[in-house]
Amino acid sequence: MRRRDGPSAQVLLALCGAGFLLFNFPLLLIWDQPLTVLGLPLLPVALFVIWVGLIAALAWVSASRGGRGGKEPEKHEERDG
């Protein structure tokens, strides 16, 4: 069984790196403002939204696992020898 039957390692690593950046210093300070979104404080809302985004991305990547291995179009040699 090859690695191809799941999401690609590169995509997952990239997502993890992005998550680490988004959830940490200093990008976190962007949301540390006295603002509200729909009456809710910005910082927790931002954290939860990023969280939902990462879950959605992971779910999407996991679901479309066949995308790389299975759908390779088969080229036929049309030419008659």
Partner 1 sequence: MIQPGLVLAVSFGYLLLLVAVAAHGDRRADQGRSLIDSSFVYALSWAVYCSAWTYFGSVGRAASGGVWFLPIYLGPMLAMLLAWLVLRKMVRIARSYRITSIADFIASRYGKSPLLAALVTLITVVGILPYIALQLKAVSAGYEALTGGLGQSDAAWWRDGTLYMALSLAGFAVVFGTRHLDLSERHEGMVAAIAFESAVKLAAFLAVGVFVTYGLFGGMGDIWARAQAQPDIAGLLRLGGQGFEGFQGAQWFALTLLSMLSVLMLPRQFQVMVVECVNERHILRASWLFPAYLLLINIFVLPIAIGGMLIFGDGGAGAESYVLTLPLSQGAEWLALLAYLGGLSAATGMIIVETVAVSTMVCNDLVMPALLSSGRFARTGGDLTRVLLNIRRAAILLVLLLGYLYFRIAGEAYALVSIGLISFAAVAQFAPALLGGMYWRGATRAGALGGLLGGSLVWAYTLMLPSLARSGWIGAGFLDGPFGLAFLAPQHLFGLTGFDELTHSLFWSLMVNIGLYVGLSLRGRVSAREASQALLFVEVFQRGQAQPVFWRGRARLEDLRRLAGRFLGAARAEALFRDHARETGTALDSLTADARLVDRVERQIAGAIGTASARVMVESAAQEESLSLGDVLEIIDEASQVRTYARELEEATVELRAANEKLKSLDQLKDDFMSSVTHELRTPLTSIRALTELMLDTPDIQPQEREEFLNIILSESERLSRLVNQVLDLAKIESGMAEWHNTDVDMKALIVAALRSTAELFRERGAEVLADLPEQVPMVLADPDRLTQVLVNLLSNAAKFVPEGRGRVEVALRHRGDELVVTVRDNGPGVAPEDQAAVFDKFRQGGEAGNRPPGTGLGLPISRQIVVNLGGRMWLDSQPGQGACFAFSLPLRSKGGSDDG
Q: Which two tokens stand for residue 32?
A: 């540390």
Separation of alpha carbons 17 and 20, rounded Å: 5
Separation of alpha carbons 55 and 66, rounded Å: 19
x/- letters, 22..51, toward partner 1 (CB under 8 A): -xxxx-xx--x-x-x-xxxx-xx--xx--x
Is residue 32 classed as helix, strand or coil in its secondary structure? Answer: coil
Q: Pick the binder of partner 1 from 3, 71, 75, 76 (CB under 8 A).
A: 3
Q: Is position 6 an interface residue for partner 1 (rule: CB under 8 A)?
A: yes
DSSP 24: S
DSSP 5: G
Residues lying near partner 1 in the complex (CB under 8 A): 1, 3, 6-7, 9, 12-13, 15-16, 19-20, 23-26, 28-29, 32, 34, 36, 38-41, 43-44, 47-48, 51-52, 54-55, 58-59, 62, 65, 79-81
